[in-house]
Amino acid sequence: MKPSKTYDRRHFLGMGTLALGALGLPLRSLGAMTATEKSKSIPGSIPFKPIKQINAGVLNIGYVEMGPSDGTPVILLHGWPYDIHSYEAVAPQLAAKGFRVIVPHLRGHGTTTFLSPDTMRNGQQAVVALDIIALMDALHFKKAILGGYDWGTRTANIMAALWPERVQAMVCVNGYLINNREKNKHPLPPQAEWSWWYQFYFATERGREGLEQNREELARLIWKFNSPAWKFDDSTFKEYAASFSNADYTNVVIHNYRWRLGVADGDPAYDALEVRLAEGPVISVPTITLDGDADGIAKATDGQAYKKKFVGIHRHYVIPGAGHNLPGEAPERFTQAIIEAASL
């Protein structure tokens, strides 16, 4: 199959029909749970709390911790507009397997707050990754397995590319998402541009006000588009949406998307890191990439278009019925991918 052209904005890699599980082990090794099963149906599920707090870098980070204190660390990173509840079913399953699981609220979400009112409410890609490095330092983790989707994939990619000594292995949805702002200036196919309407909306002051005033309505709309097969209920949505009330939510989210489009500057302190990231660094740590075949915004691929970015062990799977919030929609599959990655 001819590889599709790679785009930097979450990889609209191919618009056609692509094979399932083109790399690595057979897809059936990742289990059989359908993506529409709700997390609360997982046997042995336990309450997703309490939220712990720890000072790390410029933040006081809120996080859920599960599993034995001497277990192999696993850090699970959420995307936008979602939160830590994407891993409500994944975390306890991994904890039961002996992993020490950490699920942090990213900056601008949930109970994560800035330590100083003078710190820039920055959403650029490098600083989010540095937040997680700081969290690892605060928790005294020399190395961890990373799992993520959306913003979480980008963060995990950056950590694995720039600080591979801190990453044992990685599971990420939609492959390689490190941004190059110069490439982002070029137009995508019209269908892809239309799918990203909110990025252009956020580039305006009207968009900022719209996000501030309609946080939940916007999130619900994007959820439905991103995951058309996901039959989430109001109680599930409300669990996630509580994170959107963070005082820094609008500023961080708006800056993230404006920075990507090149209409907002980042912090000059991170310019050197962003130069390295713009070069598209390769990732050498063992990696499993996942695509959901019901992802409404990042179409499933065979993994070939970004395979060259993963120069270590790399396996790719397509998960039937899963949308953009893959760990929340197909928790068994994501859990088993983490377990597989730990063995690579």
Question: pLDDT of 285-321, one tens digit each?
Answer: 999 999 999 999 999 999 999 999 999 999 999 999 9
pTM of the predicted model, to two decimals?
0.88
Instruction: Tell the residue number behind the tokens 């919030």, with chain if given.
Output: 325
Closest by Cα among 338, 340, 341, 342 to 103: 338
Give residue 46's pLDDT: 52
pLDDT above 80 for 21:
no
pLDDT above 70 for 144:
yes
- Residues of the chain with pLDDT > 70, as a percent, come to 86
Mean pLDDT of 124-144: 98
Per the CB < 8 A criterion, the answer to whether 166 and 142 are in contact is yes
Closest by Cα among 63, 137, 164, 59 to 104: 63
* DSSP-assigned states of every residue in 215-247: HHHHHHHHHHHH-TT----HHHHHHHHGGGG-T
Q: 48 pLDDT band (50/70/90 cuts)?
A: confident
> Over the stretch 57-85, which tens digit does the pLDDT of each residue have?
999 999 999 999 999 999 999 999 999 99
Give residue 47's pLDDT: 66
> Over the stretch 246-274, which tens digit does the pLDDT of each residue have?
999 999 999 999 999 999 999 999 999 99
Closest by Cα among 155, 161, 166 to 282: 161
Residues 6+ apart with CB under 8 A from 36: 229, 230, 231, 321, 329
- Spatial separation of the C-alpha atoms in residues 338 and 75, rounded to whole Å: 10
pLDDT above 80 for 8:
no
27: which 2 tokens? 């897809």
Taking residue 208's Cβ as centre, other Cβ atoms within 10 Å add up to 18
